[in-house]
Structure formats: structure tokens, C-alpha cells
């Protein structure tokens, strides 16, 4: 067996890219495809694919970097799904009136945990009745104001403010983490070394 073709090496180094592409395709089909699977099937298949990839990566990657590689792979795959969600079409835009505006502080538990987070929830009156609410981490409008909301008429992705979030940020982070996992797998020692 040549060096680099045992547990680590090239076959495992290709795993993050292959699995990320498959997971992105699966998520994109669910979020934007014409005949997607049900939400339960989409989550189940995505979870099995991600878990199996992480397990296979950990088993095949040797050395102390295996744990970090699995962490990079897992977070990279989650960010891949986030990028697919944000890239999904929210083709409809509605001008809605804010009926109610609520803010709730979600506390942090434990010492050294993340800081408290404020979630802003708007109850909306939109033409046709949908969307009926919008959640964000920043205040978007006050009661009685109008707001433009982009949404998917098939209700597969959550509504967001028109001109809202971009898929580039999670896509770039996913690429960096998956590249890290790939590098760790490529540098993994062969068994018996």
C-alpha cells in the first residue's frame, strides 16, 4: 500500500467536498425544487448523510487532527445547508403592515456562555394572509409601519425582509472549514506510521 492511501490520504481528503456537494444538492432540491421531499424525509436524509460522513471521516483519518477535522466537517456541512437555504428563491414580495411588534431577550445559561440575544418578532397583516410573522435579530419596523417581506409562496423557506441576507457569508465559511477538513485528511498519516 502506498503512503497516503490507508486510513487517511486522498480518498478521505475528497470526502468533505463530495459530501458537501451532495448535501447542498439535497438541500437545494428541498428548498427550491419543483417536487421536493417532505420536511421529515429531507431532515432525516440530510442528518444521516452528515452523520455518516463525519463517522467515516473520523474512522479513516488518523492522528490527533481527526477530532478537529470532524468538527470542521460537521460545522462546514451545517453552513452548506444554511447557504442552500439563503440561496433558495423567495420570489414573492409583499408590502405588509406590522400589527404587533414583540422583543424577547433570550438569556444565556452557564458561565462563559454566549451573551443574551434579543429576538424581534413582527406579527404582520399581508395581502393574502401570508406571511403572518417575521423574526429577526434586529428591530425591523414598529407597530403600524409597512415593511417589504420576501417569501416563498410554497412556504418551504422562512420569510425575510426584502433584500435581506446573502448566501455568500455561510458559503465562504463553509468553504474554509471544508478546506481545513480536507487538509487535515490529506496530511493524516497512513496506518502503522
What pLDDT, on the 0 to 100 scale, is given for residue 116? Answer: 79
Could you tell me the pTM of the whole model?
0.70
How far is it, in rounded angstroms, from Cα 122 to Cα 142?
Answer: 8
Average pLDDT over residues 80-99: 85
How far is it, in rounded angstroms, from Cα 75 to Cα 77?
Answer: 5
Q: For residue 190, what pLDDT band results from cuts at 50, 70 and 90?
A: low
What pLDDT, on the 0 to 100 scale, is given for residue 64? Answer: 78
Q: Which of 5-9, 26-30, 106-110 has the lowest mean pLDDT?
A: 5-9
CA-to-CA separations, 108 to 7, 111, 152, in angstroms, rounded: 41, 9, 32
Over residues 168-187, the pLDDT tens digits come to: 889 999 999 999 999 988 88
Q: What is the mean pLDDT of the chain?
A: 84
Cβ contacts of 193 within 8 Å, gap of 6 or more: 3
Over residues 126-169, the pLDDT tens digits come to: 988 888 898 888 888 888 899 988 888 778 778 888 876 677 88
Average pLDDT over residues 90-97: 84
What pLDDT, on the 0 to 100 scale, is given for residue 5? Answer: 44
Answer for the pair 192, 38: CB distance below 8 angstroms, yes or no. no
User: Minimal CA–CA distance to 20: which of 77, 83, 99, 100?
Assistant: 77
Position 6 pLDDT exceeds 70: no
Cell 492511501 belongs to 5
- Which contacts of 114-123 are long-range, i.e. CB under 8 A and separated by 24 or more positions? 122/98, 122/147, 123/98, 123/99
Amino acid at each position: 500500500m502506498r503512503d497516503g492511501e490507508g486510513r487517511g490520504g486522498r480518498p478521505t481528503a475528497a470526502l468533505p467536498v463530495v459530501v458537501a456537494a451532495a448535501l447542498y444538492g439535497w438541500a437545494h432540491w428541498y428548498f427550491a425544487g419543483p417536487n421536493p421531499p417532505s420536511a421529515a424525509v429531507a431532515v432525516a436524509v440530510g442528518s444521516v448523510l452528515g452523520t455518516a460522513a463525519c463517522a467515516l471521516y473520523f474512522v479513516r483519518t488518523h492522528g490527533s487532527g481527526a477530532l478537529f477535522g470532524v468538527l470542521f466537517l460537521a460545522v462546514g456541512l451545517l453552513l452548506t445547508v444554511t447557504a442552500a437555504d439563503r440561496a433558495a428563491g423567495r420570489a414573492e414580495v409583499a408590502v405588509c403592515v406590522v400589527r404587533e411588534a414583540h422583543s424577547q431577550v433570550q438569556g444565556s445559561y452557564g458561565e462563559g456562555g454566549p451573551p443574551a440575544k434579543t429576538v424581534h418578532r413582527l406579527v404582520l397583516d399581508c395581502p393574502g394572509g401570508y406571511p403572518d410573522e417575521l423574526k429577526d435579530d434586529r428591530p425591523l419596523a414598529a407597530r403600524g409601519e409597512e415593511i417589504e417581506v420576501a417569501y416563498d409562496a410554497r412556504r418551504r423557506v422562512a420569510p425575510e425582509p426584502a433584500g435581506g441576507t446573502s448566501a455568500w457569508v455561510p458559503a465562504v465559511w463553509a468553504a474554509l472549514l471544508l478546506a481545513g477538513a480536507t487538509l487535515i485528511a490529506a496530511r493524516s498519516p497512513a496506518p502503522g506510521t
